Amino acid sequence: MRYYVMTLFPEMIEQAMSTSIMGRAVSEGFIELKVMNIRDFTLDKHGKVDDYPYGGGAGMVMEAEPIYRCFEQICSEVGERPRVVYLTPQGDVFSQCMAKDFSAESDIVFLCGHYEGVDERVLEEIVTDYVSIGDYVLTGGELPALVMMDAIARLVPGVLNNEDSAETESFSDGLLEYPQYTRPVEILGRSVPEVLMSGHHEKIRQWRQEQSVQRTRERRPDLYEQWAEENLR
Ligand code: 6GU
């Protein structure tokens, strides 16, 4: 899978994507990352990429031209029109279900906006998906793009060491994860639950399932209702 990121802050993307599991996914070739600096595509001799908003008002608006020229270069590399995600609080709220949908693509383009926004005309021309990562306001689309790339990449075969770890955990079956323990057997006056040391695999599986259900009911009643609807009724 190949990610293209159109941004004015390429270091922000490169940094985060060179670390931990994403770093390994890139260096081992499971994910190909092409970070495009929108500033490299302006024809303006001073490298200007934004301008005042028509109609007045605060802040600057990112110009259509450099973004469109950047997109054209991406299209010529991909050979067809890829999905283009514009990160905006006005988009559909990102979910595990959307991550799964995107993980089937061979190429995804992320357009990161800044300032007061992006000239609407280039959005109309190239964007296929408007995505938000939640109901709060960030200064730019880079962190949301990173969030999406992480959530999508871990569904790509090979990115996680453990074959089934993406499937058995939180959300895959609509429940939150059960609690985990490691050595020592006692610390801070608390012991590891007996059943986990019993070696009885079926009992362990049952206990974990019960913990997941209980935890979901307490911490995310909204998710619990959905799960109960699909599994109990
Ligand atoms: Cl995708 N962008 C910005 N700027 N703020 C956000 C967001 C996106 N999602 C939540 N807040």
Which phi and psi angles does 29 have, rounded to 5°? 85, 5
Whether the predicted pLDDT of 158 surpasses 90? yes
**How confident is residue 173, by pLDDT bands cut at 50, 70 and 90?**
confident
Q: Chain-wide mean pLDDT for the chain?
A: 96
Q: Which of 12, 110, 133 to mutate to test the pocket of ligand 1 (most atoms within 8 A of CB)?
A: 133
pLDDT of 166 reads 64
- Residue 210: left (phi > 0), alpha (psi -120 to 50), or beta? alpha
pLDDT of 172 reads 62
CA of 102 to the centre of ligand 1 (A): 18
If DSSP states are collapsed to H, E and C, what string results for 43-83?
CCCCCCCEECCCCCCCCCEECHHHHHHHHHHHHHHHCCCCE
Q: Which atom of ligand 1 lies nearest, measured to the CA of 91?
A: 1
CA of 127 to the centre of ligand 1 (A): 16
Ligand 1 pocket check for 87: Cβ under 6 Å: yes
CA of 91 to the centre of ligand 1 (A): 8
The arithmetic mean of pLDDT across residues 91-105, rounded, is 98
Element (H, E) at 152: helix 142-153
pTM: 0.95
pLDDT of 148 reads 98
pLDDT of 161 reads 84
Ligand 1 pocket check for 110: Cβ under 6 Å: no
Whether the predicted pLDDT of 165 surpasses 70? no
Q: Which of 159, 149, 150, 156 is nearest to 109 (CA)?
A: 149
Q: Which two tokens stand for residue 163?
A: 């074959």
pLDDT tens, 73-89?
Answer: 999 999 999 999 999 99
